[in-house]
């Protein structure tokens, strides 16, 4: 039995931003961020007589971006907020099993990947979220929406052979919108709210 010790992941994160008052009920903000993460856990192939892998601190990743927000607090029967973020996430391995997959691809397909940073699986350059609320005495509603660029993936042929670099493809944009409305009716001392 051999005990394996791992180092803790180390993160250096920096953030700078501010908010600006546009009016009595509206504020805008900007925030910039950068993060380095070292000693991610990964698989390390060992070329021994039994050819196996072990878990080790091998990988590195970084993410950086900028965020813009504008928000209006509730007044004159409505409120809203808009948030847009542009960010990138890169590292030397897409996931913890990447290095074992590289050894497999090299032995089966003859593909030897270059040593460079790659786009990480959670990289989503563009995200936009909105929230709008409207409220009067007896009726109102709200809409919440979120739109984002597609996540990356590695294109493959029918038999599973990678085509191009890791995460060189990009899935389509996605978006969701949720709407809620209500109407309140009064009957003497009875109050009914339909949602």
Q: Are 119 and 165 in contact (CB under 8 A)?
A: no
Number of C-beta neighbours around residue 178 at 10 A = 10
Q: What is the mean pLDDT of residues 115-127?
A: 86
Band of residue 51 on the pLDDT scale cut at 50, 70, 90 = low
Position 48 pLDDT exceeds 80: no
- pLDDT tens digit sequence for 14-42: 999 999 999 999 999 999 999 988 877 66
pTM above 0.85, yes or no: no
- The whole-angstrom separation of Cα 63 and Cα 120 is 10
180 within 8 A of 166, measured Cβ to Cβ: no
> Of 99-103, 116-120, 186-190, which gets the smallest average pLDDT?
99-103
Distance of alpha carbon 92 from alpha carbon 61, whole angstroms: 7
The secondary element (H helix, E strand) that includes residue 98 is helix 98-108
- 108: number of Cβ within 10 Å: 10
Q: Identify any residues that bridge with 81 across adjacent strands, giving them in sequence order.
A: 71, 131
Confidence of residue 1 (pLDDT cuts 50, 70, 90): very low
Strand, helix or coil for residue 94: coil
């Amino acid at each position: 039995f051999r005990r394996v010790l791992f180092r803790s992941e180390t993160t250096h994160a920096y953030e700078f931003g501010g908010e600006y008052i546009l009016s009595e009920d509206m504020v805008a903000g900007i925030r910039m961020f950068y993060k380095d993460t070292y000693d991610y856990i990964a698989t390390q192939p060992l070329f021994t007589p039994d050819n196996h892998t072990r878990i080790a601190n091998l990988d590195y990743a970084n993410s950086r971006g900028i965020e813009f927000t504008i928000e209006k607090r509730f007044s004159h029967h409505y409120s809203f907020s808009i948030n847009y973020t542009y960010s990138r996430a890169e590292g030397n391995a897409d996931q913890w099993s990447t290095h074992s997959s590289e050894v497999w691809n090299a032995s089966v397909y003859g593909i030897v990947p270059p040593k460079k940073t790659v786009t990480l699986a959670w990289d989503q350059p563009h995200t936009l979220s909105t929230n709008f609320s409207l409220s009067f005495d007896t009726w109102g509603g709200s809409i919440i929406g979120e739109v984002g660029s597609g996540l990356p993936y590695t294109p493959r042929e029918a038999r599973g052979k990678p085509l191009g670099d890791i995460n060189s493809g990009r899935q389509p944009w996605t978006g969701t919108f949720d709407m809620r409305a209500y109407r309140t009716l009064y009957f003497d001392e009875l109050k009914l709210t339909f949602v």
